[in-house]
Structure 1
């Protein structure tokens, strides 16, 4: 998990989320892992050679698992090394139907494997309670085991509902009592779907809202932000672990209509008013903000989809980092006192 997060940090731009995940992952390490860091001697588990049959089989199973994962990754994601361009090319080598069929095949068996694993851990814990000496301490250990086992089984049961969301047919096959249990505790958010971004966006292009300003309503100038994609020739900014809040929210706004982001109309109002605090969220360098001398009379927003360019797409001279395609108007042209803007501000109590 730590290696995965490090790779995401090196190739992505997810601010501090990955750092938090690494901290949580380290909290799962036991004394066997961190004993050397704390200066404690490592416990010996008998002679190291020759290794036991169980140790050999465990190592072989682990290596086989890694080998299968590598083979499947190469096969199903079409990994190819282009020596001429010094690039690692990849493409999805399976169809949506094949993916859903695979999900339908493995989801419930995975639930069964998880149930067996949990049952084994509970039985092992119960056996250890039985081995405790002394009637009082055995009773105390059994009481703790009963409480923890009940809580764990309950959490496992309700977690099956969000776990199977990704495959609705499997979700419908769950025992109705599990759905009722989940409904009773859903408001407490005890369990949820795995992953911060469980369903990835931008597969068909990264949607971006591009703000444009004008003094006459005919000649429009794009307003560039410090971090989000805009100018196709500008390299992506590396911001981690900083989180640029406005740029981040604009990305979420691009995933739906502007009505789903009521704060956007307030942003336009403040830019039309030329408020310095808001302008600094767009550009800390005043000279890079095209309307730093006088606020724009009109503002509008367009929706584009962005893709990274490949080296072969570059023309002579500096190659652009992005290519983009206009999708639609995101927000109509408005000015101070515009009825559309005033209505939206009043509707959401932002005026």
Structure 2
């Protein structure tokens, strides 16, 4: 988990949440892993030869596990080396039905193994409570152990439940609906009691990456007469097809980011988008600076536009063979549909949209 975010940073234009993930992941490292960084001497362990039977069996078990994982990966994902093209080819060698059947078979047993592992860790943490001197401190240590153990078991339990009303359901039994229904009812009741606090959630920035067939983007357009329209270019998001993608990390351009999410949604524009249009029509400088810090790049810096509308496009990177005379464009795009109708400050259409969302 510590190495994954840097790889994402190197291969994608992501922002500060990768740094946050790295910080959180460091807290999961064992002291033995970071002892050298902290300047602590490494404990010397006596090397016995020949090794004990237990260590030999543990090593064989570990090697067997790695071997089975490698074998199953090759078998079920059809890994083959294409020596002619010097590529590693792969294809899924199982059906969707086989996959769901396998999930249904292993989900609940894995939950049981996880519970046993957790209880073992709790039991291992029990003896130190009795090693503390003094009755009061023993009682205090036992109380701390009981609170932490209860909280840990409770969090683990509620993280298994899938609630259909939850917008971002917890991760594990969500992958198999039937297994979710077979969980002990008390776990469902516990989840219902704490669900409003959102103490558990699915892991991952994009657990289900959107399959959109191109990058959807909202393009704002302004006009003084309602006939001749000028695109409003943002500092970071794709707009002008000749503009290179901006490198923003670790900065988080919230407005550009939210506009991309708005473009992904198959529903009417979010309430905040109507408010954005209103502020741009009013010419509010604070909002304009979210679009363009350099006012010379904002086409309506001298006078706010009379009309604003938004179009939905899909963007793709251009390939080497798509060049044209002159500077090669970075993007090609295709118009999809109107995203937001043309509005102005006079007619009641914009006022009606704002009132619907409680913004007026």
TM-score (norm 1): 0.82
**Does 2:322 align with 1:314?**
yes
For residue 125 of structure 2, give the secondary structure of its aligned residue in structure 1. helix
User: How far is the alpha carbon of 1:110 from its aligned partner?
Assistant: 3.0
For residue 17 of structure 1, give the secondary structure of its aligned residue in structure 2. helix
Question: Aligned partners of 1:80, 1:239: CA distance in 2, in Å?
Answer: 38
2:182 maps to: 173
For residue 108 of structure 2, give the secondary structure of its aligned residue in structure 1. helix
Contact between 2:2 and 2:25, CA under 8 Å: does it hold in 1? yes
User: How far is the alpha carbon of 1:263 from its aligned partner?
Assistant: 1.4
Q: 1:305-340: per-residue Cα shift (whole Å, max 9, x none)?
A: 23334x355234554433333222111011122211
Gaps of 5+ in 1: none
User: How far is the alpha carbon of 1:53 from its aligned partner?
Assistant: 1.9
Contact between 1:76 and 1:94, CA under 8 Å: does it hold in 2? no
In structure 2, the CA distance between the partners of 1:76 and 1:112, relative to structure 1 (3 Å rule), is farther
Contact between 2:16 and 2:251, CA under 8 Å: does it hold in 1? yes
For residue 324 of structure 1, give the secondary structure of its aligned residue in structure 2. strand
1:236 maps to: 245
In structure 2, the CA distance between the partners of 1:260 and 1:94, relative to structure 1 (3 Å rule), is farther
Contact between 2:79 and 2:89, CA under 8 Å: does it hold in 1? no
Q: CA RMSD in A?
A: 3.6
Question: Aligned partners of 1:283, 1:89: CA distance in 2, in Å?
Answer: 46
For residue 307 of structure 1, give the secondary structure of its aligned residue in structure 2. strand
**Does 2:56 align with 1:53?**
yes
Equivalences for 1:197-346 in 2 at 5 Å? 197-256=206-265, 259=268, 261-309=270-318, 311=319, 314-316=322-324, 318-346=327-355
In structure 2, the CA distance between the partners of 1:220 and 1:27, relative to structure 1 (3 Å rule), is same
In structure 2, the CA distance between the partners of 1:316 and 1:304, relative to structure 1 (3 Å rule), is closer
Gaps of 5+ in 2: 162-169
**Does 2:10 align with 1:6?**
no
For residue 37 of structure 1, give the secondary structure of its aligned residue in structure 2. coil
In structure 2, the CA distance between the partners of 1:149 and 1:321, relative to structure 1 (3 Å rule), is same
2:198 maps to: 189
User: How far is the alpha carbon of 1:289 from its aligned partner?
Assistant: 1.7
2:160 maps to: 160
In structure 2, the CA distance between the partners of 1:138 and 1:274, relative to structure 1 (3 Å rule), is closer
Question: Aligned partners of 1:261, 1:350: CA distance in 2, in Å?
Answer: 12
In structure 2, the CA distance between the partners of 1:4 and 1:188, relative to structure 1 (3 Å rule), is same
2:166 maps to: none
Contact between 1:129 and 1:142, CA under 8 Å: does it hold in 2? yes
Contact between 2:241 and 2:331, CA under 8 Å: does it hold in 1? yes
Contact between 1:216 and 1:298, CA under 8 Å: does it hold in 2? yes
Q: 1:31-76: per-residue Cα shift (whole Å, max 9, x none)?
A: 2222222222111122287764256347635754874697589x47
For residue 226 of structure 1, give the secondary structure of its aligned residue in structure 2. coil
Question: Aligned partners of 1:93, 1:320: CA distance in 2, in Å?
Answer: 40
How many residues are matched? 346
Contact between 1:224 and 1:230, CA under 8 Å: does it hold in 2? yes
Question: Aligned partners of 1:319, 1:302: CA distance in 2, in Å?
Answer: 24
Question: Aligned partners of 2:343, 2:81: CA distance in 1, in Å?
Answer: 48
Question: Aligned partners of 1:231, 1:189: CA distance in 2, in Å?
Answer: 40
In structure 2, the CA distance between the partners of 1:271 and 1:95, relative to structure 1 (3 Å rule), is farther
